Amino acid sequence: MKMPKPTLLKDFIADAVEWSGRSIEEIAADAGFRETGILREVTRGTARIAPAKVPELARALGVNSLVLMRLVMEEDYPEVWDTIRDCGHEPLTLTEVDLVNRFRDATGEAFDDDFDEVEMELIDAVFAQIARRRGLGH
């Protein structure tokens, strides 16, 4: 069973704690928080997570660290996150990396201008089908 993907950091943390079957105090201790109450405050939206704590917290929660980092940065450090993205350095999730690798395997690492109209239509059709299956309708 996959854990749901809430859009707010506080909800993501709360759901991850519940999904883990462990107490919030256990997770906070495993993540190296000196005060276990800080994680409870995060789930209420009254405290921030330092980006440096994300890898340990993700491991303690059993969630993808890039997903957690993206939520932390988007909500708590939006100017920094926008700057990183503007420089072309948005981190990819493991699923996104897999998709890029599959694409490169299929195309021989072709450049943008190497695709003809038929290939672009095929790529667009695949992504449109995925969006429809996920209820995102394009």
Q: 74 with 105, same domain?
A: no
What band does 110 get if pLDDT is binned at 50, 70 and 90? Answer: low
User: pTM for the full model?
Assistant: 0.65
Q: What is the pLDDT of residue 138?
A: 54
Percent of the chain residues topping a pLDDT of 70? 90
Range of the domain at 118: 94-133
Q: What is the pLDDT of residue 129?
A: 92
What band does 101 get if pLDDT is binned at 50, 70 and 90? Answer: confident
**Residue 31 falls inside a structural domain:** yes
Residue 78 has pLDDT above 60, yes or no: yes
Mean pLDDT confidence for 87-103: 80
**Lowest-pLDDT range of 1-10, 26-35, 86-95:** 1-10
Contacts by 31-40, CB closer than 8 A, 24 or more apart: 31/56, 31/57, 31/59, 31/60, 31/61, 32/56, 39/13
Residue 60 has pLDDT above 90, yes or no: yes
Mean pLDDT confidence for 97-118: 78
Residue 73 sits in a domain whose CATH number is: 1.10.260.40
Q: What is the pLDDT of residue 4?
A: 47
Q: 76 with 129, same domain?
A: no
Q: What is the pLDDT of residue 20?
A: 92
Mean pLDDT confidence for 99-119: 78
**Residue 3 falls inside a structural domain:** no
**Residue 4 falls inside a structural domain:** no
Alpha-helical segments (H) within the chain:
9-20, 24-30, 37-44, 54-61, 65-76, 78-86, 94-107, 117-133
**Residue 33 falls inside a structural domain:** yes
Q: 104 with 82, same domain?
A: no
Q: 13 with 80, same domain?
A: yes
Q: 26 with 71, same domain?
A: yes
CB-neighbour burial class of residue 101 (10 A; exposed 0-12, middle 13-18, buried 19+):
exposed
Number of domains in the chain: 2
Mean pLDDT confidence for 25-31: 94
